[in-house]
Structure 1
Amino acid sequence: MSLTAPPAPAPRITYGAVLGSPYVVRLLGGTLTGRLPNGMVPVAILLWVTATGGSIAFGGLLSALYGLASSVAQPVKGRLMDRHGQTAVHLPAALLNSALLVALPLAGPHGGPALATAIVVAAGLSAPSLEAGLRALWPSVLPDPRLRHAALALDTGTQGLLYIVGPLLVAALASAHSPSLALAASAVLGLAGTVAVALTPPSRHWRPAQSASRGPGPQRRLTSPGLVLLFVSLTGVGFAIGAMNVWAIAMAKQHGQDMLSGIIPAAFSTGSFLGGLLYGRRAQAGTATGRLVIAGGAFLAGWLPLLALLGPYTATTAVVVPGAFLTVVVACAYQATDALAPAGRTSEAYAWLILSIGAGQSAGTALAGRLAEHPLDSAALPAVGAAFALAVLLAARSHTVPARSPGAGNAAASPRATYHHPNSTSSKHT
């Protein structure tokens, strides 16, 4: 009989341990503050246009252009971060973005629609890529994979709060003063949050790993079948979100309750936040791709009750379920991307992930707008997007062989890329 004692179970991960780790609160809080303009600026632009005598159609166009420009520029900024570090990209982008947001209400009325459009597009293109940057920092800030798993879930889950707090803050500022003040507040918050992140030692000293192959071979490419199929699948996730937002407006119109257009997306975001909290406390089992397929199936199942054409209160409750699994899908997608992307290209890969969801969301919004007058079609579109995402994920399983182990893309190869964690006895490379 063996007298060897069984190994002691690993201590349970708590969010207190995550938030108590060096720099986590500053990085997470700074990123959320710096990204708050994502939820503020589109609403503020729309209110500013209508307040200055423009049409709702033109205001909606400018809002859409800001979001589209911000999404399209993500991979470019991700690649620049992989080459030159985060601070060198974040700070100039934030300064330019904030300056343009402040300039819009000053120059827009005098230059006409053309100048306003140019300023909005330039502001969107220069929005700092804080989300991709933060995901690249977690391996250096939290070397323990379990803490990193909880931090990623917390980070992903709290993103929904941006689209609850942001529009409410804009509405309050515009009502109390003017939409111009809301734009100025967006500029200040975006710059303050970005500076808080960019000046932390982890961000200042972050550098990506150097690939073992510097040639144009497969290790250096982001076009592997696994990554491409993963990004294509995420367009379906974004499609479901965009269609849900329009469906909420259609529900509000159908039932004569204007508040539903905001309450339903808020319930969805609340589910996302709660799902992130629960997921982050659970131990990881299996591969990131396997967890992603399971979460994708649950995400699809969460949308199916909408096909019963639920009443407003039941529908509001129902969207909490797919919202909860959205966080799991996105968190697993980041982990799968980290495993599949070649070393030295992680920030750019994360940026393509963000762009994929954003592009799908725009497509879902556009198609749902055309079908908004048909209740069943409108309610079915989120499930259609989720079904597409799951189908592509299932097809991609044979192609998702990791290029390296998760987190490996954040280990630096050069001395200047070394970041020394204050609580460690050895250098951690980022």
Structure 2
Amino acid sequence: MAGYRDLLRTPGVGRIIAAQLTARFPNGMTSLAILLHVEQVTGSYGAAGIVLAAASVGQAVSGPVTSRWMGVWGIRRVLTLTTTVCAAAVLILALVPMGLPGYIVFGLLAGLSTPPVQSAVRTIYPKLVTSRQLTPLFSLDASLQEIIWIFAPVVITIVATQVGTVTGLLLIVVFLVGGGAWLIASPEVGRVRIPRSRRAFGRVLARPVVLLATITGFLLIGACAAIEAGVVATFGHGGLEAGLVLAIFSVGSLAGGLSFGHIPIGRWAMARRFAIVAVGITATIFSLSFWWLSASLFVAGIGIAPALAVMFAMTSASVKFSETAEAYGWISTGQLIGAAAGSAVAGFLIDGVGPVGAYWAGAIFATVGVIVATTCVRGFPDLRGRDVSPIPDTEPVTTIT
């Protein structure tokens, strides 16, 4: 913890972490708020699911695009534009009565305009700290984001059910605008200029490291999404136990990230950390009791933030600075698709064989992740003793001969 205290004393680090967590807080609220609001207005969970799917598709499509825009127009301009449009779309969803097509359109717009905060801050981090501090900073970032998933769903559920779904959506707008303005106004955001990438859009995925980070992110978040569906199906939507088990899952991730953040990242780091997730998730299939699931998922959670930290660090060390934002955008898209796939597969299995089917789905996603990380181990960089800052962009130099 002394190392993290020193890290947070570095000028600008604490401010950027706090601002980006506030700006990203709606990530843990929006899906649930839209689901509850549209269901209340239309009386149909099916309609609400369609609107939520439109928002998710929008997010998946926009991630790499808006992230790449930051190298063209600058971080502040892109964050300002997307925050404004996203806040306006959510505001319309909250205040304007409309039919299902209207909710779909504005749900899609809200997804398309989701501010690329993660891509922005992970591109800024290498400019704030030394190369020795960068890996612990990625680990700290991955750990602290669990705060969002512990508290945001609880906050929005209480507000939406006790006060109203319109108030819940308005609360999201407050976080979007307030957190976004705080981040945009931060001096560090204005000081970092991402060079324009000279490679065609999508070419960064041809880099094996970026592709591996995207695939493993898809599998990791797919496993987590399946488990979340299984926990809700086990204890019911209104069950206090479901919220407690998922909170323990996130606390395990927070503990793992803070505990392992200082460990150097070798080629086998992803396989080892994914194996912890797989062991914990696989253990859930043996009993669906509250205490067994809590213990198993705490163990599984220990590997999640450290695995995410590997993805961020290996991407940073393997691409040019001009490509980092787009690379992180593709990784985020892979994780969003993984969340959708994990939830969908778990849903079908819950309907077919009961809640245990979701835990089987999670175990399969996690096991495949271990297999990918093991068989492709040579594709993971050995970052022990290496500078994990992005590769500098170079310009042709005219010489006189």
Deviation at 1:13, TM superposition (A): 4.7
Matched, 1:391 2:374: no
Matched, 1:165 2:151: yes
Structure-2 separation of matches of 1:222 and 1:55 = 39
In structure 2, the partner of 1:133 is 120
- Matched residue SS, 2:11: coil
In structure 1, the partner of 2:329 is 351
- Matched residue SS, 1:14: helix
> Which has the greater radius of gyration?
1
Matched, 1:189 2:167: no
- The equivalent position to 1:408 in structure 2, one of 386, 390, 397, is 390
In structure 1, the partner of 2:215 is 232
Further displaced range: 360-369 or 76-85 = 76-85
- The equivalent position to 2:264 in structure 1, one of 285, 288, 302, is 285
Whether the 8 Å CA contact 2:131–2:387 is kept in 1: the answer is no
Structure-1 separation of matches of 2:355 and 2:265 = 39
Deviation at 1:337, TM superposition (A): 1.3
Deviation track 1:293-316 (CA, whole Å, cap 9, x = no partner) reads: 221222212222113124222112
Structure-2 separation of matches of 1:302 and 1:384 = 12
In structure 1, the partner of 2:101 is 114
In structure 2, the partner of 1:367 is 345
Structure-2 separation of matches of 1:260 and 1:58 = 28
- Matched residue SS, 2:347: helix
In structure 1, the partner of 2:160 is 174
Matched, 1:269 2:256: no
- Matched residue SS, 1:285: coil
Closer/same/farther in 2, CA of residues 177 and 307 from structure 1, 3 Å limit: closer
TM-score between both structures, scaled by the size of structure 2: 0.90
Q: As a proportion of its length, which structure holds more helix?
A: 2
- The equivalent position to 2:293 in structure 1, one of 315, 319, 337, is 315
Deviation at 1:145, TM superposition (A): 1.8
- The equivalent position to 1:329 in structure 2, one of 307, 315, 332, is 307
- Matched residue SS, 2:376: helix
How many equivalent pairs are there?
Answer: 391
In structure 2, the partner of 1:76 is 65
In structure 1, the partner of 2:89 is 100
Matched, 1:260 2:241: yes
Closer/same/farther in 2, CA of residues 141 and 234 from structure 1, 3 Å limit: same
Q: Which amino acid in 2 is paired with 1:278?
A: S
In structure 2, the partner of 1:381 is 361
- The equivalent position to 2:231 in structure 1, one of 238, 248, 252, is 248
In structure 1, the partner of 2:398 is none
Whether the 8 Å CA contact 1:222–1:349 is kept in 2: the answer is yes
Structure-1 separation of matches of 2:114 and 2:265 = 36
Closer/same/farther in 2, CA of residues 249 and 174 from structure 1, 3 Å limit: closer
Closer/same/farther in 2, CA of residues 327 and 142 from structure 1, 3 Å limit: same
Deviation at 1:74, TM superposition (A): 0.6
**Structure 2 regions of 5+ residues with no counterpart?**
396-401
Structure-2 separation of matches of 1:392 and 1:181 = 44
- Matched residue SS, 1:49: helix
Structure-2 separation of matches of 1:286 and 1:49 = 44
Q: Which amino acid in 2 is paired with 1:202?
A: E
- Matched residue SS, 1:370: helix
Deviation track 1:244-280 (CA, whole Å, cap 9, x = no partner) reads: 0111022215xx9822332222111111111122123
Structure-1 separation of matches of 2:61 and 2:242 = 27
Q: Which amino acid in 1 is paired with 2:346?
A: A
Whether the 8 Å CA contact 1:251–1:260 is kept in 2: the answer is no
Deviation at 1:395, TM superposition (A): 2.6
Closer/same/farther in 2, CA of residues 120 and 300 from structure 1, 3 Å limit: same
Whether the 8 Å CA contact 1:340–1:400 is kept in 2: the answer is no
- The runs of at least 4 consecutive aligned structure 1 residues that moved more than 6 Å come to none
Q: Which amino acid in 2 is paired with 1:155?
A: D
- Matched residue SS, 2:206: coil
Structure-1 separation of matches of 2:241 and 2:50 = 23
- Matched residue SS, 2:6: helix
- Matched residue SS, 1:233: helix
Closer/same/farther in 2, CA of residues 112 and 22 from structure 1, 3 Å limit: same
